[in-house]
Amino acid sequence: MWRRRLMRLLQPCGSSSPALLQPPGDTRPVLAAAARCHHTVPESLKCAWQLHRDHLELRYANTLMRLDFVWLRDHCRSASCYNTKTNQRSLDTASVDLAIKPKAVRVDETTLFLTWPDGHVTRYGLEWLVKNSYEGQKQQVMHPRILWNAEIYRQAQVPSVDCRSFLETDAGLKEFLQNFLLYGIAFVENVAPTKEDTEIVAERISLIRETIYGRMWYFTSDFSRGDTAYTKLALDRHTDTTYFQEPCGIQVFHCLKHEGTGGRTLLVDGFYAAEQVLQRAPDQFELLTKVPLKHEYVENVGDCHNHMIGIGPVLNVYPWNNELYLIRYNNYDRAVINTVPYDVVHRWYAAHRTLTTELRRPENELWVKLKPGKALFIDNWRVLHGREAFTGYRQLCGCYLTRDDVLNTARLLGLQA
């Protein structure tokens, strides 16, 4: 849908509002007079601009941008409007006249110059505008990823990172985070099988998120919490904490001991499955991004009394480029569907069935046997996890991490996150 809108934006202008088309280097002031709109730009020019009643139209680097005048004034990076030391805006946005128009416009090979009625001059690099304009953002990916099924992941031979390298070197940490950002899962090997050592590994990349389950938790089949996970039963693929208003971003698992059989961990790339739905049934994909659902956690076990409710669609996308950033999928915790009218709910069930079929395809299932010493990090906004039933005593420890801190660590190491 957004691609069709972009193609319309790239069509020649048909506006009848006053406009003046000028090539780079033309320093004549823009007059508030009607001028005929010319659609042809010489191929030798890298850019051309056209002034409309309420916005500037600028074509550069094969991108046609429509830039609102207030937006252009608000984002000025001059010393009086923006503090480059703190990277914060100094200009009071509410003070900008909503009817503001530039008094003069000039474009050279690299820069757009705007002179405002009070004489203030704003300068924008053309490359900056392509990157930061709405039209430019529509063409960019916020989070580069490699979508995978089981065979794709195995063939990639993504390496685990040794614990010592992970803890003591930026290179080891960067390798781990690059794997995590691309695939949504990553492993650290040779971690001492204790809760304390697992905590040290987790804190290398983020603050630990305190939840109703505590900070660092032990995980056994003693049904100490009102959750199916605290049993020996198999668990179907799901994301965690769908009943939080903001589901936890990263989950850490470390198997400390298992004296028995079974218990393999199941991992499924939810974004890969959603992409299949988008390609085969785009209307159903769109429905899954728009219908809000309730998920809830009700617990009354011992001294634990909780009733948590989280609301959101199954698929969450950035509206400007349709890029998926969060999947909220947990059939165990989905509450009564009472947020969807009758004429939509049946279509939602059909869309949910299509997504579930993709998530359950055997070729999409990556099975991993967690053993003492091997810590697993999962992007809970992307990768679904589950497990097969098991026998004997099995103890895991783990925690949730704050997503913002993980992404911050990655950016400080020069990664796109």
The three-state DSSP-derived secondary structure of 151-183 is HHHHHHCCCCEEHHHHHHCHHHHHHHHHHHHHH
Q: What are phi and psi of 97, to 5 degrees?
A: -65, 125
Locate tokens 């809830």: which residue? 296
What one-letter code names the amino acid at 323?
E
pTM of the entire predicted model:
0.84
pLDDT beneath 50, residues of the chain: 1-44, 223, 225
Question: What tokens appear for 160 in the block?
Answer: 């685990």
Contact 187, 374 (CB under 8 A): yes
Contact 189, 384 (CB under 8 A): no
Residue carrying structure tokens 């790339």: 269
Residue 102 near residue 148 (C-beta atoms within 8 A): no
The predicted pLDDT at position 41 comes to: 38
C-beta of residue 353 within 8 angstroms of C-beta of residue 252? no
Locate the domains of the chain by residue range: 47-138, 150-413
Q: What pLDDT does residue 227 have?
A: 55
**CA pair distance 68, 56, nearest whole angstrom:** 6
Structure confidence by residue, pLDDT tens digits, 125-180 = 999 999 999 999 999 999 999 999 999 999 999 999 999 999 999 999 999 999 99
Cα–Cα distance, 56 to 119 (Å, whole number): 18
Among 23, 239, 267, smallest CA distance to 148 is for 267
H runs (alpha helix) in 244-320: 270-280, 282-290
Task: Give yes or no for a contact between 250 and 401, defined as CB atoms under 8 angstroms apart.
Answer: yes
Packing angle between helix 282-290 and helix 270-280, nearest 10 degrees?
A: 130
Which structure tokens are listed for 363? 């070729």
The whole-number pLDDT of residue 2 equals 37
* Domain covering 150-413, topology: Double-stranded beta-helix (3.60.130)
Q: CA nearest 358: which of 144, 149, 143?
A: 149
Beta pairing, strands 161-162 & 185-189: parallel
Contact yes or no for 241/380 (Cβ under 8 A) = yes
47-138: CATH number: 3.30.2020.30
Q: Who's near 205: CB < 8 A, 6+ residues apart?
A: 173, 176, 177, 401, 405, 406, 409
Q: Which two tokens stand for residue 101?
A: 């128009």
Q: Which tokens in the block code for residue 3? A: 């691609």
pLDDT recorded at residue 301 = 81
| DSSP run (H or E) holding 238 | strand 235-238
- Run of H or E residues at 74: helix 69-74
